[in-house]
Structure 1
Amino acid sequence: MGILPFTTAPSAPLGALVPLQVEVLGAEIPETVFAALGAAVILTLIGLSAFFSSSEIAMFSLASHRLDKLVEDGEPGAELVKQLKDDPHRLLVTILVGNNLVNIAMTSISTGLLALYVSQGQAVAISTFGITALVLLFGESAPKSYAVENTESWALTIARPLKLAEYVLLPLIVFFDYLTRQINRITGGGSAIETSYVTRDEIQDMIETGEREGVIEEDEREMLQRIFRFNNTIAKEVMTPRLDVTAIDAESTVEQAIETCVQSGHARIPVYEGSLDNVIGIVNIRDLVRDLNYGESADLDLDALIQPTLHVPESKNVDDLLREMRADRLRIAIVIDEFGTTEGIVSVEDMIEEIVGEILEGGEDEPIEIVDDDTLVAQGEVNIDAVNEALDIDLPEGEEFETIAGFIFNRAGRLVEAGESLSYDGVEITVESVENTRITAARVHRLSDTEANVEATAETDGGPGETE
């Protein structure tokens, strides 16, 4: 549509309506009809702007797994949506070219219409701010909100019209597609600038947001976060340490093995030759009792009931270890250090507890007892990560230790006794109990600002050193 020169009365007051001669393609059109046509075109363009804006949100918010399910279910339009998303760069260029064309056209046409009644400067100003408001409300905000709420259904609805727009605008799309790829190549930017992705940190942030909004419960959030930590956990962090391992010598009788299992409360125990550094397998109390009571041979040896086990380094990733143990149908693996010395044992239950939390049996105590919002009592073998999460503090892990007991020994640099305390970065740790040389429990207290200042003053007056 072209607007040919028109005449106005130069002496007319600003904004006064005067007879106009409007020629479009050589035909004279009454002013009111011309204004009505222009308004209709602008409304149509606003609709197209809403279409392209909502298309961008719907197309790039539709998750790949959901799209695959829609295709599998044979939903109408799903195949076309997949075809469009298979070339996301072309899809984005199509949407951007269409959206910018209609928005610029709206501004140009509205400026021409307003120039019939006001000066050109006023027409430009009114058109700029007026069209901006219309586009923001009806071409961006409202349609994008609708697309977010109805991503799947809207993506299926607009797929065919969007494909049609690609055919109509093909020359422009090809041209700008090429230009954007070249610019991205020169500037070092990725060519797939529109690719939708999320990082692990973003997913964890979404989980925390979900808890704040009440969509996810606290225990669900904790479990999801433990799953994310699971593949970064090593065997040494989840194993039962050597000091707590109950095992039996290979020279023992079946009756002695059953008694050891019953007294320890374990269904499976390692069997060693000579010392715990030479574990040869595992025995199961179920096999021991069955073969003792129902076996064919009266003089049954323990050797016949020993099942093979797996020896893994302490740095073994538990994600990989769990997969191997499931494949080999093993319940217990032996953890060894770089010298081949037994460091401890790790069971399937130990690894599952990393995800679902501690599974207590019988008279077992909670590994972490919450005293108040700023204080807890933790068993010595509790991992530092668990203490940090419980109190929202930041105690560090070292290469030589992962537990709260290891942290205390590392900071003190010597054996400690019950009642001794040390401070670190606004946290006070007090040894609650010690068995022989082993720290069995510690109280961890997060200091308030006032307590931290008092502590800092006391250390300054008393000289250097963290232990008291």
Structure 2
Amino acid sequence: MNDISLSILFGILAALLILSAFFSGSETALMTLNRYRLQHLVKKNHKGAIKAHQLLKRPDRLIGLILLGNNFVNILASSLTTLIAIRIGGDNAIAPATALLTIGMLVFSEVTPKTLGALRPELLAFLSSWVYIPLLKVFYPLVWAINSISSLLLWILGIKSTNSPTVESLNKDELKSIVSEANHLMPARYQNMLLSILDLESASVSDIMTHRNDIVGIDLEESVADIIKQLQNSPHTRLPVYKKNIDRVIGFLHLRTILSQISQPDFDKQNITNSLSKPFFIPASTSIHKQMQIFKAEKLRIGLVVDEYGDVQGLVTLDDLLQEIVGELVSEEPNIKMQKDGSYLVDAGVTIRELNRITHWDLPTEGPKTLNGLVIEYMETIPEPGTSVKLHGHVIEIIKRDENAIKLIKFNPKR
């Protein structure tokens, strides 16, 4: 070594620091690769992705190889630094040289390459995989021996070593957290749709149904002239048909099957009865996810929600279920209006789920289904217009009410 010039020794030391940076950065890059994107690139026959995927099938071997190379390079660099220090300043130069090497390795061979590997994992991972594949073949016996000794030590400690990483299943809340925090990875419309899908099982049809008081249907007790007028002006294609009240429903009527008969002179209520399809009833506790499967299996698009006593509570359509995933299917007059001062004017009949979805609030959904019901339950009375109260962290003001319900509520902006 004394015959080698200092310039050559410094050149070798610089090369060792570069190799150390390569091992450190590539390790971080390979371990932080997005596995789903990697699978996608493998399917597209990306050569670098294929090699990286091959390496990650046995992460124990990959890590063994990287640590073997990194430690060898770092120890060699430390020894070389000691030799250079002695030749320059004797034994007294060893301590300062060690400090300089430590700082240099931290900055240039650890922090910087690992940060680059975390920020641009594909750049380093795909390039390094071309190097690691042949290296792993050359040093396989040594890597195997090191991994075997490591597995033996773990076995002595009572820990069973596996060749592949343990994959744990994620529950619904964990999946929601992943999707919620993936703002920079997917468009907002996809994120909202996925969150809505994950939330389907926790919501029942009673959360999204049209309440019985708002159901539009045909009452066969009315005159034929009134029924014809209602059919001609109906905004809905399917209507429940009943006698006197919705609890006595006898079927569903599709306008397409009846409109052609209206103009006939002998049209009467019997024509309507003959055109009815069998009514379909849904228990109020049925989850939205389950009901979507039922609609698909039964080839249905509409059903009546009933309670435990068989009384009709509301109506649910396939469009209502799809709306929970993709949002509003048609443009309607909004029932939640944001004002210039940041406040919200809200129709009290809106469901709490819809209000939470639009405003990103977290009002409780376990009890009452509508905002009107939530306020009445909280205040234990139907408040007069002008009444203000703090509702689950929101200051609200009652704007309008009728005899038995609140109609309009103002949510004041948070200060």
How does the TM-score come out when normalised to structure 2?
0.80
Contact preservation (8 Å) 1:374, 1:391: no
Structure 2 matches for 1:361-376, cutoff 5 A?
365-376=333-344
Deviation at 1:444, TM superposition (A): 1.7
Q: Say whether residues 1:42 and 2:13 are aligned partners.
A: yes
Deviation at 1:320, TM superposition (A): 3.2
Structure 2 matches for 1:27-106, cutoff 5 A?
29-32=2-5, 35-106=6-77
Contact preservation (8 Å) 2:33, 2:121: no
Deviation at 1:244, TM superposition (A): 0.4
Q: 1:76 to 1:424 in 2, by over 3 A?
A: closer
**Number of positions where the alignment pairs a residue of Structure 1 with one of Structure 2:** 409
What residue is the counterpart of 1:313 in the other structure? Answer: 283
Structure 2 matches for 1:32-431, cutoff 5 A?
32=5, 35-120=6-91, 122-142=93-113, 144-145=115-116, 148-149=119-120, 151=122, 154-167=124-137, 168=139, 169-175=142-148, 177-178=150-151, 182=155, 186=159, 192=165, 199-207=175-183, 225-226=195-196, 228-249=198-219, 259-272=229-242, 275-290=245-260, 301-308=271-278, 310-359=280-329, 365-388=333-356, 394-397=362-365, 399-424=366-391, 426-431=393-398
Q: 1:393 to 1:103 in 2, by over 3 A?
A: same
Report Cα offsets for 1:72-108 as digits up to 9, x if no partner. Answer: 3333354433332223344334334433332333223
Alpha-carbon distance between aligned partners in 1 of 2:176 and 2:216, rounded to the nearest angstrom = 39
Worse-superposed segment, 80-89 or 251-260: 251-260
Q: 1:320 to 1:61 in 2, by over 3 A?
A: farther
Deviation at 1:140, TM superposition (A): 4.5
Q: 1:195 to 1:284 in 2, by over 3 A?
A: closer
Deviation at 1:38, TM superposition (A): 3.4
Report Cα offsets for 1:253-282 as digits up to 9, x if no partner. Answer: 997655434444222112346742354542
What residue is the counterpart of 1:7 in the other structure? Answer: none
Q: 1:246 to 1:278 in 2, by over 3 A?
A: same
Report Cα offsets for 1:346-404 as digits up to 9, x if no partner. Answer: 2222233334444556xx5311011244421111122335545666655434x331321
Worse-superposed segment, 283-292 or 186-195: 186-195
Q: 1:86 to 1:333 in 2, by over 3 A?
A: farther
- Which structure ranks higher in relative contact order (CA pairs < 8 Å, sequence separation ≥ 6)? 2
What is the alpha-carbon root mean square deviation over aligned residues?
A: 4.1
Alpha-carbon distance between aligned partners in 2 of 1:447 and 1:55, rounded to the nearest angstrom = 47
Larger-Rg structure: 1
How does the TM-score come out when normalised to structure 1?
0.72
Q: 1:333 to 1:134 in 2, by over 3 A?
A: same
Q: Percent identity?
A: 25
Deviation at 1:111, TM superposition (A): 2.4
Contact preservation (8 Å) 2:28, 2:121: no
Alpha-carbon distance between aligned partners in 2 of 1:258 and 1:133, rounded to the nearest angstrom = 88
Worse-superposed segment, 184-193 or 263-272: 184-193
Contact preservation (8 Å) 1:253, 1:301: no
Contact preservation (8 Å) 1:370, 1:376: yes
